[in-house]
Structure 1
Amino acid sequence: MSAGPAGDVTRSFDIPDSETGDRTAPRPPANPLRRFLSTEDGVNIEAVYDPGSVVYNASHLLSDDSGKPLGSHPAIVVAHGFTGGVDRPHVRRVVAALTRYGSVVTFSFRGHGRSGGHSTVGDREVLDLAAAVQWARDLGHERVVTVGFSMGGSVVLRHAALPDAGIDAVVSVSAPARWYYRGTAPMRRLHWLVTRPAGRLVGRYGFGTRIHHREWDPVPP
C-alpha cells in the first residue's frame, strides 16, 4: 500500500460528500494537534485533534477553564464520507459546530488526503476509526462518541458492533442501507468510480482518493 500523499485536487463531477450546509458555524480552535496514527494492519492515518475548550499544554492535556478534569469531557470522533478528508471545508464546518460540545477528533480514511493505503469503501476503514478512537482515549477522554456521514456512517455502525469498541454513543448520518445499492444516479456514478479502472483514475486525480482495485472478499457485514 502507498503511504504517500495524494496532493491537492479539484473535484470534477458531483459525488455527494457533504451532509452539512451551515457556513455560519464558529471557527474551530486555531492550533489543532495533528498526528499520523498506525492502524492494526499498518496503514498510516492522518488525524487532527481539536480540543475545543480544553487546554492543551506541552505534551499532555490538563483541564478546561472550569477546572473539570479532561476525562469528564467527551471526545467526538468524526468519520467523513467517501472522497472526504480532514481538511475538506465541509468536514471543518462539522468540527466547528461540534467543538461547542466537546473535543473533536477527525481523520482521513485510508486512501484519502495524506493518509496511506487505498480506500476499500467501508471495509478496512473500521480499523482507521478504531485507531482514531484509541487516540481519543490516549489523550485522556473517558467518553467517546463516533459520528459518521455517508460511507463513514456505515463505518461507525460496524465499529460500534465490535465487542471491544467501547463507544458511549454512535451517530450515523445518511449511511447506505445495504451494499451495492444502485437505485439513484449518484450511487450509480459511485459504483462506476469504484469498480472501473477509468473511474479509479478519476477518483485518484479528480478527488484525491486512491481506491483499491480488489473486490470485497468476503463482503463486509
Structure 2
Amino acid sequence: MSNGPAGHVVRSTTVRPQCETPRTASSAPLRTFLQTADGVRVDAVYERGHVVYDTLTPPAGRIAFVVAHGFTGDADRPHVRRIAAALARYGAVVTFSFRGHGASGGRSTVGDREVLDLAAAVDWARERGHERVVTVGFSMGGSVVLRHAALHTGATEAVVAVSAPARWYYRGTAPMRRVHWLITRPEGRLLGRFGMRTRIQNGGWDPVPLSPVEAVPRIAPTPLLIVHGDRDGYFPLDHPHMLATAAGDHAELWLEPGMGHAEHAATGELLARIGRWAVGRAS
C-alpha cells in the first residue's frame, strides 16, 4: 500500500457538530485539524458510531466510514451531518471539510489535490484503530474517492461514489454551467468565498489530473459501488454508465429511480443500503 506521508493531528478538541443528537461523554465527537502531505490544515470530525454497533467493541473490529462531501459543502453543513448520522448506525464516521471549504485552510482545486485531504482523513481513521475503512464520496467528493482509490492502492477496504462525474470539464447541463462560472470567473469566486464559504483557486489545472473514468479500472480488486439518480440535474446517466463500464466486473452500479443529485437527494433508505453494502464488502 502506498499512501504517501500520513496526515497527522495538530490540534484536538471535543465538540458537538451542528445537528448532532446529544450522547454520552464517552461517545462525543472528536474534532481536530489534520495536516495533508502538502501542508494544508483540514478540519475533521470523528464519531465512534452508535445503535447498531456496541460502542464497547474495539475500533479494530468496526468499520470507519470516511465521508467526502460535494463542492461548496463542509463538515458542519446539515446535509453532511445527516449523512454522518445515517452511516453512524453501521460504524464510526470521519467527516472533514475539503481544502478551501469551511474552516479548512487552502483553496479548493475542485477535485485535484483534494485527494491529499481524503488521504489524511483515511490515515486518521487508521490512527484511531480502525482496520476497515470505507470511503463514501458525493459529487466532487465522489470523483475524489475514485481517484484516491486508484492512486493509493489498497488504502481502503471499499469505495462508494454517489453522483460522481465520469469526465472533467462537463458543461452539458445548466447546473454545471453555473458551477463552471463560479470556478472560472472572478465574480464567481467572490460569490463562492463570501456566499458559500468556499475559497477557490485562481487558474486552471496544470497538469490536468487523472479523470474518474481513467481512475476506476485501477481500483480493482477493491469493491466499488457506483450510485446515481435517474433525475440527477448535474450529471446525466451516461456518467455512471461510463464509470461502470470502465470499472468492469468488480464494480456494482445502482441507478436510483427518482433520485436527484448527491447528499441532498440521498434518502435514509439509500444510506442504509449503502451502510449494509459496506459492512458486507469490507468484512
Structure 1-normalised TM-score?
A: 0.81
Query: Where does residue 169 of structure 1 map in the other structure?
Result: 158
Matched residue count = 188
**How far does residue 204 in structure 1 lie from its aligned partner after superposition?**
0.3
Determine if the alignment matches structure 1 residue 38 to structure 2 residue 40: no
Q: Which runs of 5+ in 1 are unaligned?
A: 1-24, 55-62
C-alpha distance in 2, partners of 1:85/1:151?
A: 12
Trace 1:155-166 onto structure 2 (pairs within 5 A): 155-166=144-155
Match of 2:86 among 97, 110, 115: 97
Give 3-state SS (helix, strand or coil) of 1:127's partner: helix
**How far does residue 158 in structure 1 lie from its aligned partner after superposition?**
0.1
Instruction: Work out whether residues 20 and 81 of structure 2, in 8 Å CA contact, stay in contact via their aligned partners in 1.
Output: no
Q: Residues 22-65 of structure 1: CA distance to partner in whole angstroms, max 9, x if unpaired? A: xxx994857310000000000000000011139xxxxxxxx945
Match of 2:59 among 64, 70, 85: 70
Which gives a bigger RCO, structure 1 or 2 (Cα 8 Å, sep 6+)?
1
Trace 1:25-174 onto structure 2 (pairs within 5 A): 27=21, 29=23, 31-53=28-50, 64-65=54-55, 67-174=56-163
Q: Residues 185-216 of structure 1: CA distance to partner in whole angstroms, max 9, x if unpaired? A: 00000000000001000000110100000210
Instruction: Work out whether residues 182 and 192 of structure 2, in 8 Å CA contact, stay in contact via their aligned partners in 1.
Output: yes
Q: Residues 73-96 of structure 1: CA distance to partner in whole angstroms, max 9, x if unpaired? A: 000000000000000000000011
Q: Which runs of 5+ in 2 are unaligned?
A: 1-18, 211-283
Kindly report structure 1 stretches of 4+ aligned residues shifted beyond 2 Å: 25-31
**How far does residue 177 in structure 1 lie from its aligned partner after superposition?**
1.5
Give 3-state SS (helix, strand or coil) of 1:114's partner: coil
Identity of aligned residues (%): 71
Give 3-state SS (helix, strand or coil) of 2:126's partner: helix
Match of 1:203 among 176, 186, 192: 192
C-alpha distance in 2, partners of 1:163/1:87?
A: 27
Which structure shows the higher helix fraction?
2
